[in-house]
Amino acid sequence: MGAEASPAGWPLDDRGVAYGDGLFETVLVRDGVPCLWESHLARLARGCRVLGMPMPAKHDLERPLAQAGQGLAVLKLIVTRGSGGRGYAPPAVPAPRLRWQLSPFVPDATRWKAGVRVRHCRLRLGLQPVLAGLKHLNRLENVLARSEWSDADTAEGLLCDAEDRLVEATCMNLFWQRGGRLETPRLERCGVAGTLRAVLLERLPIAEVDAAPGVLASAEAVWLGNSVQGVWPVTRLDGAGGEALQRWTLGAVHRRLQAVAHEALGYPTRLDD
Amino acid sequence: MGAEASPAGWPLDDRGVAYGDGLFETVLVRDGVPCLWESHLARLARGCRVLGMPMPAKHDLERPLAQAGQGLAVLKLIVTRGSGGRGYAPPAVPAPRLRWQLSPFVPDATRWKAGVRVRHCRLRLGLQPVLAGLKHLNRLENVLARSEWSDADTAEGLLCDAEDRLVEATCMNLFWQRGGRLETPRLERCGVAGTLRAVLLERLPIAEVDAAPGVLASAEAVWLGNSVQGVWPVTRLDGAGGEALQRWTLGAVHRRLQAVAHEALGYPTRLDD
């Protein structure tokens, strides 16, 4: 399968580009079947409610799947509030616009197996409880955070909020275990509530906590995960200047959460072979 | 002049719609000449520096002016980081994309003369010092705030930040006078630093302050202004539920700041006739 996309681009007056007035979902597709589809639909529906937009029809959201063919692909769906005049006021009659891109995808099995190096970002996420958790189109903070490093050895950057609590990585959620207890940051003030995170919260006893970055110093294991890449164990954490702060040796504890996540995504669950 | 626009819309993979990864300017144009043009260019240049994008060439930004013809128009310029792959990392070789729309414009002289009714918004602006002051494309907060009312009698909504300091209105800057002293909110943590605001700060002794909304209770005059609409005196302030909080009778004090602003924009400076 080559890359496929909905035919048209965006009109000049689309509110998606004018204001980031919309939402997106990035979905792993295997043999034409979307993974964690109900979770993606639920988050999109919640976003539409918060933004005051009608939710696109499910059959419109599923239409691109017919072109996915066999194998793995990533479906990116973008829903905007549609065209609008100059000015922030939403149109009285909403006419959302849906566009999509479908791309072949190969996950990084090396990162699954050997783990990844991550660094702290300098940027702090602003607190905005109204938008917290949503996968909306206002992502300049993520873009700026991801601009903080360019070396290929660093897989991700960890983000704290304006009050120095851990939140997430630039495009993945964050999990850790300390004292045998699984934890992940609460996402009620900022951050994106990932669909894989939702599944892990259902299947494992993970506590949602407020935690300073220093909590990772006492963690037995740290992971990053999302619904496309699966779960990467963290083997090295660097400071924002690139200096090594901490290292972890992969062990059985790392593989347990990873296996639960990968089972949900149809990815390999035995990664020490 | 009818509405004119750059020929193409936005490609499907433009980072403007994907992430709001870009900036805009809305410029008053009179007889083909852009008002406060150097201030608009300065803010755009600052935004490009913060986002790490090259600034478009001045002659490209000025090209649409040839189509403006006689009379008043509004030129909206949008600059995005251009196309990008999936993922937040900016492309190694930046290729920004510039699009524009030019629309005929008639300012609201009734609002200049009779003043406006405004209300407090419930939404609180998140604090993000890195992006504060910029006219970037992440404007969901403004969209949500502007959705809080739909009656035509309410001209604007006042926004406070997460720590309950006055910041701005949804698309205008805020000024007031108390004890004979002109003040406007500091915009170092959030908000858009308007070009008309920049001109007024140069020409009048206006102090940039941190102020709770209660400060307006002791104001002799309150104004909203931007570089397209000019300055609207505020005659009535409502709470977020629409209940009247305060009224002002227009007087000579209102006309002074308005006259300085309108002189800069080429708008009428004597509004009591």
Round to whole Å and give the CA distance between A32 and A130. Answer: 34
Q: Is A267 a residue whose pLDDT tops 50?
A: yes
DSSP 3-state assignment of B200?
A: helix
Element containing residue B19 per DSSP (H, E): helix B15-19
The two three-digit tokens of residue A63, written as one number: 């239409």
Pick the CATH number of A109-265 from 3.40.980.10, 3.40.190.10, 1.20.1050.10, 3.20.10.10: 3.20.10.10
Judge whether A102 and A68 are in contact, CB under 8 Å.
Answer: yes
Indicate where chain B has its CATH 3.20.10.10 domain(s): 109-265
DSSP 3-state assignment of B121?
A: strand
Give me the pLDDT at residue A266, please.
Answer: 98
Q: Is B8 a residue whose pLDDT tops 90?
A: no
Backbone angles phi, psi at B205, to 5 degrees: -80, 75
Q: What sign does the CA torsion over B107, B113, B114, B120 have? A: positive
The two three-digit tokens of residue A214, written as one number: 């220093």
The CA distances from residue A232 to A228, B91, B153, in Å, are 11, 24, 54
Give me the pLDDT at residue B85, please.
Answer: 67
* A190 in B contact zone (CB under 8 Å): yes
Give me the pLDDT at residue B94, please.
Answer: 84
Q: Is A273 a residue whose pLDDT tops 70?
A: no
- Partner residue opposite A20 with nearest CB, options B51, B90, B140: B140
Helix, strand, coil percentages, rounded to 5, for chain A: 25, 35, 40
Give me the pLDDT at residue B4, please.
Answer: 72
- Catalytic positions of A: 26, 135, 168
Mean pLDDT of chain B: 95
Determine the residue type at B179. G
What's the longest Cα–Cα distance across chain A? 58
- Please judge whether B20 and A80 are an interchain contact, meaning their C-beta atoms are less than 8 angstroms apart: no
Give me the pLDDT at residue B273, please.
Answer: 60
- Partner residue opposite A88 with nearest CB, options B89, B137, B146: B146
Round to whole Å and give the CA distance between B229 and B265. Answer: 9
Please state which of the ranges A138-142, A252-256, B1-5, B61-65 shows the lowest mean pLDDT.
Answer: B1-5
> In Å, how far is B16's CA from the nearest CA of chain A?
5
Average pLDDT over residues A88-97: 91
- Please judge whether B147 and A52 are an interchain contact, meaning their C-beta atoms are less than 8 angstroms apart: yes
Q: Is B81 a residue whose pLDDT tops 50?
A: yes
- Please judge whether A19 and B140 are an interchain contact, meaning their C-beta atoms are less than 8 angstroms apart: yes
The residue in chain B having the minimum alpha-carbon distance to the alpha carbon of residue A102 is B86
Q: For residue B230, how many other CB atoms are within 10 A of its CB?
A: 25
Q: Is B3 a residue whose pLDDT tops 70?
A: no
Q: Which of A4, A14, A15, A19 is the mutation pick for testing B, counting most B CBs within 10 A?
A: A19
The residue in chain B having the minimum alpha-carbon distance to the alpha carbon of residue A82 is B17
Q: Is B41 a residue whose pLDDT tops 60?
A: yes
Give me the pLDDT at residue A51, please.
Answer: 97
Give me the pLDDT at residue B93, please.
Answer: 86
B135 assigned to active site: yes
Q: For residue A220, how many other CB atoms are within 10 A of its CB?
A: 14
Residues of A in contact with B102 (CB under 8 A): none
Judge whether A171 and A226 are in contact, CB under 8 Å.
Answer: yes
Round to whole Å and give the CA distance between B153 and B13. Answer: 40
Give the torsion through C-alpha atoms of A76, A148, A153, A110, to 10 deg: -20
- Tokens 């009620």 sit at which residue? A188
Give me the pLDDT at residue A93, please.
Answer: 86
- Please judge whether A142 and B11 are an interchain contact, meaning their C-beta atoms are less than 8 angstroms apart: no
A223 CB-contact burial (10 Å; exposed 0-12 / middle 13-18 / buried 19+): buried
According to DSSP, the β-strands at B4-5 and B97-104 are: antiparallel
B184 assigned to active site: no
> What residues 35-54 of chain B have any CB closer than 8 A to a CB of chain A?
51-52
pLDDT 10s digits, B95-129: 999 999 999 999 999 999 999 999 999 999 999 99
The two three-digit tokens of residue B22, written as one number: 């870009």
pLDDT 10s digits, B223-238: 999 999 999 999 999 9
pLDDT grade, residue A1 (50/70/90)? very low
Q: Is A2 a residue whose pLDDT tops 60?
A: no
Q: Which architecture does CATH list for B4-104?
A: 2-Layer Sandwich (3.30)
> In Å, how far is A175's CA from the nearest CA of chain B?
21
Round to whole Å and give the CA distance between A134 and A42. Answer: 11
- Partner residue opposite A127 with nearest CB, options B16, B24, B127: B127
DSSP 3-state assignment of A256?
A: helix
The percentage of residues in chain B with a pLDDT greater than 90, rounded to a whole number, is: 93
* B188 in A contact zone (CB under 8 Å): no
Round to whole Å and give the CA distance between B200 and B264. Answer: 9
Indicate where chain B has its CATH 3.30.470.10 domain(s): 4-104
Give me the pLDDT at residue A272, please.
Answer: 78
Round to whole Å and give the CA distance between B151 and B158. Answer: 15
Q: Which of A12, A74, A75 is the mutation pick for testing B, counting most B CBs within 10 A?
A: A12
Q: Which residue has the higher pLDDT, B272 or A236?
A: A236
* B11 in A contact zone (CB under 8 Å): yes
- Please report the DSSP string for A11-37 in residue order: -TTBHHHHH--EEEEEEEEETTEETTH
The percentage of residues in chain A with a pLDDT greater than 90, rounded to a whole number, is: 93
This complex has an ipTM of: 0.96
pLDDT grade, residue B2 (50/70/90)? low
Average pLDDT over residues A211-233: 98
Judge whether B141 and B125 are in contact, CB under 8 Å.
Answer: yes
> In Å, how far is A26's CA from the nearest CA of chain B?
9
pLDDT grade, residue B29 (50/70/90)? very high
Q: Is A7 a residue whose pLDDT tops 80?
A: no
Average pLDDT over residues A192-215: 98
The percentage of residues in chain A with a pLDDT greater than 70, rounded to a whole number, is: 97
Q: Which of A78, A88, A93, A105 is the mutation pick for testing B, counting most B CBs within 10 A?
A: A88
